[in-house]
Amino acid sequence: MSERIKKLTELGQSIWLDTISRKVLENGEFRAMIERGDIRGVTSNPSIFNAAIAKTTDYDSALIPLAWAGWDAEKIFWQLAVEDIRAACDAFMPLFEETNGGDGFVSIEVSPFIANDTEKTTAQAQQLWVRVARPNLMVKIPATAEGIPAIRKSIASGVNINITLIFSLDRYAEVMEAYFSGLEDRITAGQSIQTISSVASFFVSRVDTKVDGKLPENSPLRGKAANANAKLAYQLFLKKFSGERWEKLKSHGARLQRPLWASTSTKNPAYPDTLYVNDLIGPNTINTMPPVTIEAFRDHGVPEVAITRDVDKARDEIAQIEAAGISMETVTYELEVEGVQAFSEAFTGLLSAIEDKRKKAAFSIGPLADSVSRRIAKLEEDSVPARLWQHDPTLWASDRAGQAEVKIRLGWLDSVADARGRLDGYRSFAREIHDAGIRRVLVLGMGGSSLTAEVLSSLAAGTNLEAGVSLSILDSTDPNQVTQMAEYFPPDQSLYIVSSKSGGTAEVNAAFDYFWSLSEGDGSRFIAITDPGTSLEALAKQRGFRKIFSADPNVGGRYSALTDFGLVPAALMEFDLNKLLDRADWMRHQCLADVPVARNPGFALGALMAESALAGRDKLTIVADPSVAALAGWIEQVIAESSGKNGKGILPVALEPLGAPEAYGNDRLFMYLRHKGDLDADLAALKNAGQPVIEFPIADAYAAGAEFFRWETAIAVACHILGINAFDQPDVQDSKERTKAKIADYQKTGKLADVELVNLSDAKAAVEKFLSGAKAGHFVSVNAYLPRTSDMIEVLQAMRIGIREMTKCAVTAGFGPRFQHSTGQFHKGGPNKGRFIQVVYDVEKDIEIPNEGLTFGTLIRAQALGDYEALKAAGRRVLRVCLPSLDDAKSLANIAD
């Protein structure tokens, strides 16, 4: 707190902030102002909310699901406003309690449309009081003739009231009388008045603006009317709150109704910028100031009691103004009418802007709007949010075994709180690694055990966040990719994170054996992240790993982003973990049980995805700006592995190259992860063609925290709607077992039996024939058991374009065995509408897996065979293409021309 503001507070005047916005509430600025002692309350009005909501995009993420729910503009406004007011009340609650209810108030105004209706104003004041449900709320009621009885009734009912738009001394007298009468009514009814608070907002600068316009330019009375009027109002205050009647009220615990000087920023640039602050300082007063006026007072304000100074002079100035033919009664009445009108116009403009945003949001989901709106209402009706947070397994499973699995897989709902308790451990370990001079980290993991690390590493690079280490993941058994990683992450410079929830993942075990051999058994170069009691934990203890992180066993792998699996790598990369978790917590609080489903971003998105799938738009096409594209792979996994079961599900089509509108059928729902707007023009064309397109702004790497929780919630909700258990993976094990059988046969015979391979020379004709039966609504998946390099990604992307042009179907692509831990579940368990092209190659430079009796090349070929057989066993259509060598991979780009 600056010395000037400290002195002002000591003199008995409180500064209340004359603005509010979601941005300052969420970015920490608001709490910082409170903690510094700069502000002791805050006010809002229609003009303030118009500037905050209509003229920024800060509220769009909250507004969009409300629009999907079919809410009208005014209903949306009150929801958004109440959220801000509650947040501000909560921020001020410590001050409110510290001052015993003397300060820390937050004001929200009734609709200006009802300013001249006593009954409606009274009713809405009560409604807002109940809805906000905070003791430090004040409801603002305009001091119109019809507002005066509403003030009395509201005070009598126990509502804290801020009376606004007071200009005249006569009206101010009525306001104070209404306060007294309301308190007396309450006492007569046998109710306590000790907690009732009220302020009277006397508007200042507008009086000068009005009077100055009627005076000659050289008049010495210019700039005098406003402060003179306020000083005379303060005299009325001193008189009213003294004497027998007040003392009687005071004996019952009545609080002063403090005068609040409103509209105190200077409108005339020729006047001093603290004119309406310095002259109005006095005990038991409030001055509402915008930030610029607060800063001005902090810099050069004069903290001295002035409100009781030169009172006779103030009376004389008002008399002179009257003598000049200017009626203060007329001036103040006009200001009251104009004030209500100005707020009404601002409110009209605000509702119009919200309506435009609402229409845009509804347009974005096009033909799904009605069904999504009904579904959101149904989720509310069925109390699904409450049941989710109560860990009710019947949302996803009706059988005992399924319910038992669900019960031990909902720990992700509380991962943020659990992670905060582990932060010291994360940070101290990261310091240890950095102090040891280790700057390269390789995560050996598959699926959810490694994807978050990759996402955060990529987001840090894409958003220019400087990372503390160079981090990559190895989630392949391809010998070329293993060799490449070994070259960049040599043991003498690297830390290896062996990451596996189950502790028995075959690919991870093979990678560990290889890098352990390279390190010559140096356990200080290895750490383990695994569930308690796994074989990996035992191995890490036996081999003397540097560290073992025991993850929460009640969180499934694909939901583990905000657990050790994501946060240990984040700490090593020097992410601000509190900031990352704050973003996640921000989203978590919006998804809680007491939040309306229409306002719940996770539930609304889940409703949209499910209704889209039910309508035949079951290809969730995720496009992204390159800087944030890695997040699409994480979303792909959590959706595919959660939903692709029992012939149902949502197919994530991640990072398929965008085409012209005519390239797509009616089976798509587009999701755009937007960072820099690289795809705005292409997506505008799709929107105009009637395709549903939803944007998710990704401001920086830390936004991932919120997105992790949003999408985890959304797919859980979508699976509930679709009748799918989101937390098991019944079809993944089949491929694993078949792979084990292939390896066992190889270890016995020294041979790996291959089946139904199409050679490259015949591939073009074979692919054309294979795809000829594809129909609208089907999809094609390219499962490439190739090294995941930029060149190979480019080849597969070209292949996807060619296949899409040939079939008009959605085309997914994944590198094996990586995709088996992502979309593999959907391939076998989802709708049987896919055609799978498996690509393998003859390895030229293979490497041994130590102690296993086989090579990486043999392992990846066995995995391809196991997956092929699992697909066939599930009744899927599969074509296998074999490349003579990696050098021939480029020809795949033209295979579907």
Residue the block writes with tokens 């397994």: 393
First and final C-alpha spacing in the chain: 70
Report how far residue 643's alpha carbon sits from residue 620's, in angstroms, rounded to the nearest whole number.
12
Q: Is the dihedral of CA 312, 317, 318, 320 positive or negative?
A: positive
For the purposes of burial, counting CB atoms within 10 Å of the CB of 421, is it exposed (0-12), middle (13-18) or buried (19 or more)? exposed
Q: Beta strand 854-855 with 848-849: parallel, antiparallel or unpaired?
A: antiparallel
Exposed / middle / buried, residue 851 (Cβ in 10 Å: 0-12, 13-18, 19+): exposed
Closest Cα to residue 77, out of 91, 94, 59?
Answer: 59
Q: Please check whether residue 668 is in contact with residue 623, taking contact to mean a CB–CB distance below 8 angstroms.
A: no
Q: Is the peptide bond before 269 cis (omega within 30 degrees of 0)?
A: no
C-alpha atoms less than 13 angstroms from C-alpha of 227 in its C-beta half-sphere: 25
| Cα torsion 528, 529, 533, 536: sign | negative
Q: How far is CA 182 from CA 168, 177, 489, 565, in A?
A: 21, 8, 76, 60
Identified catalytic residue from 6, 23, 140, 742: 140
Tokens of 386: 């409450």
Active-site annotation holds for 748: no
C-alpha span between 804 and 859 (Å, rounded): 31
CA pair distance 114, 132, nearest whole angstrom: 20
φ/ψ of 650, rounded to 5, equals -115, 120
Q: φ and ψ at 849, to 5 degrees? A: -95, 115
Element (H, E) at 445: strand 440-445
The separation between CA 301 and the C-alpha centre of its own chain, rounded to angstroms, equals: 40
Tokens read off for 57: 């995009």
Of 570, 580, 586, 558, nearest to 642 (Cα)? 558
DSSP secondary-structure letter at 51?
I
Question: How far apart, in whole angstroms, are the C-alpha atoms of residue 888 and residue 842?
Answer: 11
CA distances from 373 to 604, 605, 874 (A): 9, 11, 36
d(CA 203, CA 229): 10
Cβ neighbors of 723 (< 8 A, separation 6 or more) are 646, 648
Q: How far apart are CA 394 and CA 720, in angstroms?
A: 9
CB 475 within 8 A of CB 450: yes
CA distance 692 to 355: 19
In one-letter notation, the amino acid at residue 745 is D
Instruction: Please list, in sequence order, all residues whose beta carbon lies within 8 angstroms of the beta carbon of residue 733, skipping any fewer than 6 positions away.
Output: none
Does residue 250 contact residue 349 with C-beta atoms inside 8 Å? Answer: no
Q: How far apart are CA 244 and CA 249, in angstroms?
A: 9
Residue 494, sorted as left (phi over 0), alpha (psi -120 to 50) or beta, turns out to be beta
Residues carrying an active site annotation:
140
